[in-house]
Amino acid sequence: MTTTLITGANKGLGFETARRLVAAGHTVYIGSRDAERGRRAAERLGARTVFLDVTDDASVAAAAKAVEADGGLDVLVNNAGVEAREPDGRVIGAAEATADAMRSVFETNVFGVVRVTHAFLPLLRRSAAPVVVNVSSGLGSLTRVTTPDTPTYAYPGVAYPTSKTAVNMITVQYAKAFPQMRINAVEPGYTATDLNRHTGTQTVEEGAEIIVRMAQVGPDGPTGGYFDAEGPLPW
Ligand SMILES: NC(=O)c1ccc[n+]([C@@H]2O[C@H](COP(=O)([O-])OP(=O)(O)OC[C@H]3O[C@@H](n4cnc5c(N)ncnc54)[C@H](OP(=O)(O)O)[C@@H]3O)[C@@H](O)[C@H]2O)c1
């Protein structure tokens, strides 16, 4: 039996990933920073839930303790993420980017990934087939953001793409440090969720495809890679 924790799984891509992994036979923990939203999501899916705010050391430590007491963890999906937007919904571009806005995005998208991975490492190391999926973005690809005449090139934000480039580097360094684990970064594609005020062009079913696939890689599967549903991506 495979036990899987997905951070920020009370809605969006995390929720759809949870739905698919429950269907695939995983015991799934819905990580949620709101206990009631997590409970409702878990109830709908026949999953478990754990209170987990990726920006908060105490909540992450308590979540790791709870999951450990229930038997441990095989798969960690670092999915929780935020984007920096103006109150009117516009992405914060270079002219308006501030250290505070940057720090707030990094607190969730980057430090959150490190905080959660660090807390769950002892559990993953006890698994026979440990897997980590870091939900990155195509916007984290330096190659893509510098390829003219593409939607990725046209994206004006600073904090969000920078945070996802950091997630890619975290993925590579952890994959080298823990060769017994399968650790990959994935790009779901532009998907209609609350993150982008439902402007995304894909459904959550399409977006979750690569997350679900990489959550199920076996010990012979790839590690230290960066993938979308079509295959490897340029860094
Ligand atoms: N949608 C896209 O087009 C797209 C493309 C590429 C990558 N991604 C990535 O996919 C991941 C999921 O995003 P989504 O599109 O599904 O967005 P979403 O619907 O807004 O879901 C984001 C999830 O993260 C949770 N979250 C935010 N901050 C958190 C924190 N501090 N602690 C715990 N949970 C927290 C949210 O919880 P609340 O409900 O409490 O806010 C929510 O459950 C993100 O990493 C995002 O960067 C999305």
Contact (CB, 8 A) for 138 and 210:
no
Q: Whose CA is nearest to atom 6 of ligand 1?
A: 137
CA of 26 to the centre of ligand 1 (A): 21
Residue 18 structure tokens: 């949870």
Give the residue, out of 5, 6, 7, 11, with the most ligand 1 atoms within 8 A of its beta carbon, to mutate for a pocket test. Answer: 11
Which ligand 1 atom is nearest residue 192's CA?
1
Alpha-carbon torsion (11, 135, 50, 219), positive or negative: positive
Biggest distance spanned by C-alpha atoms of the chain? 51
Q: Residue 198: left (phi > 0), alpha (psi -120 to 50), or beta?
A: left
Give the residue, out of 134, 164, 195, 211, with the most ligand 1 atoms within 8 A of its beta carbon, to mutate for a pocket test. Answer: 195
CATH code at position 220: 3.40.50.720
Residue type, 198: H
Task: Enter the pTM of the model.
Answer: 0.98
DSSP single-letter state for residue 38: H
| β-pair type (231-232, 226-228) | antiparallel
Nearby residues of 217 by Cβ (< 8 Å), 6 or more positions away: 131, 182, 184
160 assigned to active site: yes
Calpha distance 171→47 (Å, rounded): 27
Mean pLDDT value of segment 191-197: 96
Determine the structural domain holding residue 52 and report its residue range. Answer: 3-232
Any idea of the CA torsion for 127, 231, 54, 96, to the nearest 10 degrees? 160
Q: How many domains in the chain? A: 1
65 assigned to active site: no
Which ligand 1 atom is nearest residue 190's CA?
3
Calpha distance 135→76 (Å, rounded): 11
Which of these is catalytic: 29, 155, 164, 174? Answer: 164
- Band of pLDDT at residue 184, cut at 50, 70 and 90: very high
Mean pLDDT value of segment 203-231: 98
pLDDT of 130-165, one tens digit each?
999 999 999 999 999 999 999 999 999 999 999 999
